[in-house]
């Protein structure tokens, strides 16, 4: 199942009117029905819709009503060819690989930062909701790493599985959000108990039918904010001393 096209179908069905691909992407991200670590989700959305129409013709779920603007195809006809199905699977695989590279790169860069700071850190071989286990001065810490590129909406967007978050409710758990940039990485390092407080305050909100938490991080006037401009997070920005 292609997550971009599926989210586009939901947004267009609700809108009941043609929408520009950037608006489709924005609404899908805000609603939490689209999860991606890619740098340009709107460009990916446009490419997915264009290719769907090109490959499937009248069997596509979409039609283009104006430049870069799409609507649902209410006169859908015919069946999807085997060749079109294969192209669909290849496109989805490319998206998954891109996200996998980004996520794994984030884990390695955080592990390196911890090692440079004197932690004995290692990446978990099996995903049990924690990405890194680290020890320092006899204390053990669990690290969950989330990595995002800056979106075309000037926001870093992250998703945390609710089940995973609730499984690790401990004071020695930390969330490290890797803000990947063209020239450097920055890090927002948040203890679990602070994350829990942000969830209770609804600064971090539920998406995906209550299965995930959505974290939006943005910069304004050289300060970092989470959720909205009333929630400044400068204390947690690149502050590795929080892990103690």
Residue 89 lies in a domain: no
Residue 122 lies in a domain: yes
Of 168 and 45, the one with more pLDDT: 45
Q: What letter does residue 151 receive in the DSSP assignment?
A: P
Q: What is the mean pLDDT of residues 20-34?
A: 87
**118 and 160 assigned to the same domain:** yes
Whether 83 shows a pLDDT value over 70: the answer reads no
Residue 87 lies in a domain: no
Residue 98 lies in a domain: no
Number of domains into which the chain is organized: 2
Q: What is the mean pLDDT of residues 202-225?
A: 88
**112 and 76 assigned to the same domain:** no
Banded model confidence at residue 33, pLDDT cuts 50, 70, 90: confident
Residues 106-144: tens digit of each pLDDT = 999 999 999 999 999 999 987 777 899 999 999 999 999
**132 and 43 assigned to the same domain:** no
Domain that holds residue 213: 104-242
SS3 194: helix
Residue 198 lies in a domain: yes
Whether 102 shows a pLDDT value over 90: the answer reads no
Whether 23 shows a pLDDT value over 70: the answer reads yes
Residue 126 lies in a domain: yes
Q: What is the mean pLDDT of residues 19-26?
A: 92
**Residue in the structure block whose two tokens are 């103690």:** 244
Query: pTM for this one?
Result: 0.69
Residue 97 lies in a domain: no
**126 and 68 assigned to the same domain:** no
Whether 198 shows a pLDDT value over 70: the answer reads yes
Q: What is the largest CA-CA distance in the chain?
A: 66
Whether 80 shows a pLDDT value over 70: the answer reads no
Residue 211 lies in a domain: yes
Count, residues in the chain: 244
SS3 60: coil
What CATH number is associated with residue 161?
3.40.1350.10
Q: Are 213 and 162 in contact (CB under 8 A)?
A: yes
Residues 34-44: tens digit of each pLDDT = 877 666 788 88
**Residue in the structure block whose two tokens are 């013709």:** 57
**70 and 111 assigned to the same domain:** no
**119 and 59 assigned to the same domain:** no
**22 and 139 assigned to the same domain:** no
């Amino acid at each position: 199942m292609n997550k971009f096209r599926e989210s586009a179908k939901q947004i267009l069905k609700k809108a009941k009117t043609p929408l520009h691909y950037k608006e489709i992407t924005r609404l899908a991200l805000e609603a939490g029905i689209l999860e991606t670590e890619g740098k340009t989700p709107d460009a990916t959305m446009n490419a997915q819709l264009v290719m769907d129409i090109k490959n499937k013709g009248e069997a596509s779920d979409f039609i283009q009503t104006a430049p870069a603007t799409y609507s649902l195809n209410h006169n859908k006809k015919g069946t999807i060819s085997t060749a079109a199905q294969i192209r669909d699977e290849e496109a989805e695989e490319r998206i998954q690989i891109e996200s996998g590279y980004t996520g794994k790169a984030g884990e390695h860069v955080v592990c390196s930062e911890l090692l440079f700071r004197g932690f004995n850190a290692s990446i978990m071989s099996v995903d049990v909701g924690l990405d890194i286990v680290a020890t320092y001065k006899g204390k053990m810490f669990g690290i969950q790493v989330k990595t995002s590129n800056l979106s075309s909406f000037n926001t870093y967007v992250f998703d945390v599985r609710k089940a995973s978050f609730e499984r690790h409710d401990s004071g020695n758990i930390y969330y490290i959000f890797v803000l990947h940039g063209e020239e450097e990485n920055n890090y927002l390092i948040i203890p679990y108990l602070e994350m829990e407080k942000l969830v209770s305050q609804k600064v971090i909100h539920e998406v995906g039918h209550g299965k995930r938490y959505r974290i939006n991080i943005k910069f304004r006037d050289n300060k970092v904010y989470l959720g909205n401009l009333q929630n400044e997070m400068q204390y947690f920005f690149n502050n590795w001393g929080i892990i103690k």
